[in-house]
Amino acid sequence: MTQFALNDDQIAVRDMAREFAAEKIAPHALRWDEDKHFPVDVMREAAQLGIGGVYIRDDVGGSALTRFDAALIFEALATGCPTVSAFISIHNMASWMIDAYGSDAQRHKWLPKLCSMELLASYCLTEPGSGSDAAALRTRAVRDGEHYVLNGQKQFISGAGKGDLYVVMVRTGQDGPGGISTLVVEGDTPGVSYGINERKMGWNAQPTRAVIFENARVLVANRLGEEGIGFKIAMAGLDGGRINIAACSLGGAQAALDKSLAYMKERKAFGKRLDEFQALQFRLADMATELEAARTFVWRAAAALDRKDADATMLCAMAKRFGTDVGFEVANQALQLHGGYGYLSEYGIEKIVRDLRVHQILEGTNEIMRLIVSRKLIEGAR
């Protein structure tokens, strides 16, 4: 059944993550953004609470929670900093691919240290010449005995250069999705190098680099599943990743709304507090309503993914599109309500706006989300 209220366990999980965000993340978020600091130590503290492997099975140290629980957690963490929450969500997505598609030996080799975040994981799909057209990727892995020899480049990789494991989609066969396989590549493998840390509009508290493969030799034993199922693995991971990033947008937008409410109680204009002007009250009401509608949608999609419903992929795409669009718009409206002060970094609003903007692009652009939804609708009408 679709959930419209949280049970006691879900409330406890959400509140635990929210308290961690308020205590350990929010006080440092502006400095981390300014200094481009990647707070690995704080993320490892979060992992001690079970956040490093939210929906990983418990025999390898995971929390064995649901996608619904994960949505609550990542939204709560994002109230402290969307960038940090988003990286932890990507780490969880990459780790889940090993949990879901790896052999027992692979799971026990890597997942205990991934769940503790002693090892950090990144997801490598996008390339300089293939972003939305992911099935056109060109990074090639050629079999050579017990190894694959990798050549190619991945682009816009979160955590690159700081990560320990990279879940990489490579071409082992013919053109198209059927020729793609998935390899787990260790970050210190000879032949693996990294581009510069990109200068970005937002998401400055996590590094973004190219990952470059030049005759890098990776054991065949590091392949997840059989050859040719890599595109399926990538897309399955993205269903959950889209829910996660939408949840991060909700958390950032909620923080921006909360800051606006506090600011408007204090700020006066024309002899009245800002929250006494009806036009601004209506704007607040619309922001809160849109945010609640998006939250309900994300919960519905997460619950569908947990149940493995036939329409889960479509709902995840819908929720990602709607949740990230609403999150950015609410944050942008919050900046407007702050007036000139919203444009100053010390108030924290402009950082949220910058961070949330990229959520409409990554994990599949919102244009691609519309394409997924429209295709599913058309197929269903035949």
Q: What is the pLDDT of residue 133?
A: 85
Q: What is the pLDDT of residue 3?
A: 59
Enclosing H/E stretch for 237: helix 230-266
In which residue ranges of the chain is pLDDT below 50? 1-2
CA–CA distance, 318 with 366 (Å, rounded to integer) = 9
Contact predicate 245/77, CB 8 Å: no
Q: What is the pLDDT of residue 265?
A: 95
The helix/strand/coil state of 216 is strand
Q: What is the pLDDT of residue 2?
A: 47
Q: Which two tokens stand for residue 106?
A: 């692979």
CA–CA distance, 253 with 265 (Å, rounded to integer) = 19
- For tokens 């950032």, name the residue: 252
CA–CA distance, 320 with 314 (Å, rounded to integer) = 10
pLDDT digits (tens, 9 = 90+) for 146-159: 999 999 999 999 99
Partners of 216 in the β-ladder: 150
Residues 6+ apart with CB under 8 A from 208: 156, 157, 158, 160, 197, 198, 200
Query: Residue 340: exposed, middle, or buried by beta-carbon count in 10 A (0-12, 13-18, 19+)?
Result: exposed
- For tokens 């609550």, name the residue: 72
- E strands, the chain, in order: 121-124, 140-144, 147-158, 165-171, 180-186, 192-194, 208-219, 268-269, 272-273
- For tokens 């409206």, name the residue: 333
244: nearest Cα among 184, 307, 323: 323
Partners of 170 in the β-ladder: 181
363 is catalytic: yes
> Among the options 127, 329, 350, 363, which is catalytic?
363
Q: What is the pLDDT of residue 132?
A: 82
Q: What is the pLDDT of residue 1?
A: 44
Q: Give 28-46 as a DSSP string.
A: GHHHHHHHT---HHHHHHH
